[in-house]
């Protein structure tokens, strides 16, 4: 599905017309291309204190053009606002207003990233107020940015610092084109676990990953992205999708497993296939999902049960098998696909939203169980993504749904895949039990 409107208003005549009529002006987003620079332009690190200094030093080691003070009229690729030492709301003023003075100098598709501390661990009400204040600040700023620029935040829990491996991993993700459709969101780094990859272009080298529902749509995009990042990929889908599944498996030089994930023995089959064919299992992506929409007043047992069975009960059962398996103990990673419907609700989707809300609850409760093996589990919640599913929405409804986010466009399957690939990597090892929305900061349930 192509978004012809975004292409039309991105340049020349179309751009002029949209501007004059006050129409939405989405731009073509900067997306990751192997070999491309992390950011386009210098990176300004705002904020005083040891955490900001250490972060700036780390960025220099990535060969970025780092500034500690703005250079007048210089176009910036990113602003990093380090607020980890804010102890009272008044402490936000200096660094925030210093960064404000540079906002007009942001280049197209630039990035703003805040780094702050978790309100939950604050030593008192004033510190909690300052920390929670960053939440509102960041989400509002994301709504002010234009031209494909995004703002996202890294939250450090007690024990994590500005240069903890996953703080740097999250920073790299947010700065890069991999996070093109992630806007107004936070990632909490809860531990100092995780490590930077030896090769930034192949962060999943040596890993074996399973992706369910991979015959088409978002699942196929996940398989391609994990393969690009160096993983050996097993693609799983129902037997009826066998032909498409084989095509995807060939494309990613992986193997196909025809399997209905709601079968009792699905977990054992997945582990068995990965270990027999590839010798190990490191990553499981729960992507397979179905919708059977109906208003609750008209809901029947079949629609309710099938959605719960595929979207959440199957994942719970497979996870039980994974947790019990001796083959899933070497820093294992699970990433599950939720949905913004499971967070904000959606008319006609009570069954689907219950299942996707269920995914979020499951992820939070499973995180401590995987921690024992140095593992992690997270969810990604996509918003409006251009797929066969959303192409079937009637034109006017689709056009409205697609513009109702800060980036004024739908995301691509690859955008969801990028977030999943990051959370499946060791760079995200200190992030667990989190839900990352890939929704362009959807105005619904923002």
Q: Which residues of 11-27 are buried (b: 16+ CB within 10 A; e: fewer)?
A: eeebeeebeeeeeeebb
| Contact present, 150 and 108 (Cβ < 8 Å) | no
Q: How far is the CB of 384 from ligand NAI (least distance, A)?
A: 6
Q: Which of 196, 99, 107 is nearest to 138 (CA)?
A: 99
Q: How far is the CB of 208 from ligand NAI (least distance, A)?
A: 19
Question: Could you say whether residue 289 binds ligand NAI (CB under 6 A)?
Answer: yes
| Contact present, 137 and 99 (Cβ < 8 Å) | no
DSSP secondary structure, 159-210, as one string: T--TTSHHHHHHHHHHHSGGGTT--S-EEEE-SS-----SSTT-TTTT-EEE
| Contact present, 42 and 63 (Cβ < 8 Å) | no
Q: Between residues 10 and 390, which has the closer beta carbon with respect to ligand NAI?
A: 390
Q: Between residues 65 and 260, which has the closer beta carbon with respect to ligand NAI?
A: 260
The owner of tokens 């050996």 is 232
Q: How far is the CB of 409 from ligand NAI (least distance, A)?
A: 13
Among residues 249, 337, 362, 431, the one that binds ligand NAI under rule CB under 6 A: 337
Taking CB under 6 A as the binding criterion, the range among 2-10, 164-172, 224-232, 384-392 that sits at the site for ligand NAI is 384-392
Q: Reduce the DSSP state of residue 384 to 3 states and report it.
A: coil
Question: Could you say whether residue 415 binds ligand NAI (CB under 6 A)?
Answer: no
Taking CB under 6 A as the binding criterion, the range among 91-99, 143-151, 196-204, 380-388 that sits at the site for ligand NAI is 380-388
Site string for ligand NAI, 317-336 (x = CB under 6 A): --------------------
| End-to-end CA, the chain | 25
Question: Could you say whether residue 382 binds ligand NAI (CB under 6 A)?
Answer: yes
- Catalytic positions: 352
Cα 230 from Cα 237, distance rounded (Å): 22
Q: How far is the CB of 246 from ligand NAI (least distance, A)?
A: 13
Q: How far is the CB of 129 from ligand NAI (least distance, A)?
A: 34
> Which residues have C-beta within 8 Å of that of residue 280, sequence separation ≥ 6?
208, 274, 327, 330
Residues numbered 184 to 223 that lie near ligand NAI (CB under 6 A) are 212-213, 215-219
Site string for ligand NAI, 294-313 (x = CB under 6 A): ----------------x---
Q: How far is the CB of 387 from ligand NAI (least distance, A)?
A: 4
Q: Between residues 142 and 310, which has the closer beta carbon with respect to ligand NAI?
A: 310
Residues numbered 226 to 285 that lie near ligand NAI (CB under 6 A) are 237-238, 241, 260-262
Q: Between residues 261 and 274, which has the closer beta carbon with respect to ligand NAI?
A: 261
Cα 164 from Cα 170, distance rounded (Å): 10
- Vertex 344 angle, CA 312 and 302, to 5°: 40
Residues in contact with ligand NAI, counted by CB under 6 A, come to a total of 27
Question: Could you say whether residue 419 binds ligand NAI (CB under 6 A)?
Answer: no
Cα 14 from Cα 323, distance rounded (Å): 54
Strand partners for 187: 154
- Residue 89: other Cβ atoms inside 10 A: 14
Cα 169 from Cα 204, distance rounded (Å): 13
**Residue 55 token pair:** 């972060």
Q: How far is the CB of 202 from ligand NAI (least distance, A)?
A: 25
Q: How far is the CB of 376 from ligand NAI (least distance, A)?
A: 20
Q: Taking each helix axis as running N to C, give the angle between helix 217-228 and helix 413-423, from 0 to 180 degrees, rounded to the nearest 10.
A: 50
Site string for ligand NAI, 151-190 (x = CB under 6 A): ----------------------------------------
Taking CB under 6 A as the binding criterion, the range among 103-111, 113-121, 174-182, 387-395 that sits at the site for ligand NAI is 387-395
**Residue 372 token pair:** 């024992």
Among residues 176, 179, 339, 441, the one that binds ligand NAI under rule CB under 6 A: 339
What is the binding site for ligand NAI (CB under 6 A)? 212-213, 215-219, 237-238, 241, 260-262, 287-290, 310, 337, 339, 382, 384-385, 387-390
């Amino acid at each position: 599905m192509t978004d012809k409107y975004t292409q039309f208003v991105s340049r020349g005549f179309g751009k002029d017309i949209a501007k004059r009529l006050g129409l939405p002006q989405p731009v073509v987003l900067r997306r990751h291309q192997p070999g491309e620079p992390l950011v386009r332009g210098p990176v300004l690190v705002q904020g005083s204190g040891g955490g900001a200094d250490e972060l700036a030093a780390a960025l220099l080691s990535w060969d970025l053009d780092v500034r500690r003070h703005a250079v007048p009229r210089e176009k910036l690729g990113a602003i990093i606002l380090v607020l980890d030492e804010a102890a009272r709301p008044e402490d936000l003023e200096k660094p925030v207003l210093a960064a404000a003075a540079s906002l007009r100098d942001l280049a197209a598709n630039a990035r703003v990233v805040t780094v702050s501390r978790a309100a939950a661990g604050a030593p008192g009400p004033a510190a909690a107020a300052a920390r929670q204040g960053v939440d509102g600040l960041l989400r509002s700023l994301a709504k002010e940015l234009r031209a494909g620029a995004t703002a996202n935040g890294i939250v450090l829990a007690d024990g994590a610092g500005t240069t903890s491996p996953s703080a740097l991993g999250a920073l790299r993700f947010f700065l890069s084109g991999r996070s093109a459709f992630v806007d107004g969101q936070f990632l909490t780094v809860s531990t100092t676990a995780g490590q930077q990859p030896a090769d930034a272009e192949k962060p999943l080298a040596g890993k074996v990953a399973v992706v369910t529902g991979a015959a088409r749509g978002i699942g196929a995009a996940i398989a391609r992205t994990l393969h690009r990042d160096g993983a050996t990929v097993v693609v799983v889908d129902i037997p009826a999708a066998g032909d498409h599944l084989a095509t995807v498996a060939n494309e990613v030089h992986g193997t196909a497993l025809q399997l209905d994930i709601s079968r009792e023995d699905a977990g054992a089959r997945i582990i068995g296939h990965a270990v027999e064919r590839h010798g190990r299992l490191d990553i499981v992506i729960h992507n397979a999902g179905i919708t059977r929409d109906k208003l609750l007043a008209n809901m029947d047992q079949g629609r309710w049960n099938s959605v719960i069975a595929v979207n959440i009960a199957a994942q719970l059962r497979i996870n039980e098998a994974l947790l019990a398996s001796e083959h899933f103990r070497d820093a294992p990673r699970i990433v599950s696909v939720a949905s913004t419907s499971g967070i904000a609700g959606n008319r006609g989707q009570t069954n689907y939203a219950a299942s996707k809300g269920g995914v979020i609850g499951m992820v939070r409760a499973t995180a401590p169980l995987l921690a024992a093996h140095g593992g992690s589990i997270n969810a990604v919640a996509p918003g409006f993504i251009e797929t066969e599913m959303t192409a079937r929405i009637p034109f006017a409804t689709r056009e409205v749904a697609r513009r109702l986010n800060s980036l004024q466009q739908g995301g691509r399957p690859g955008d969801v895949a990028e977030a999943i690939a990051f959370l499946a990597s060791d760079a995200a090892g200190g992030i667990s039990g989190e839900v990352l929305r890939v929704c362009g900061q959807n105005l619904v349930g923002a």
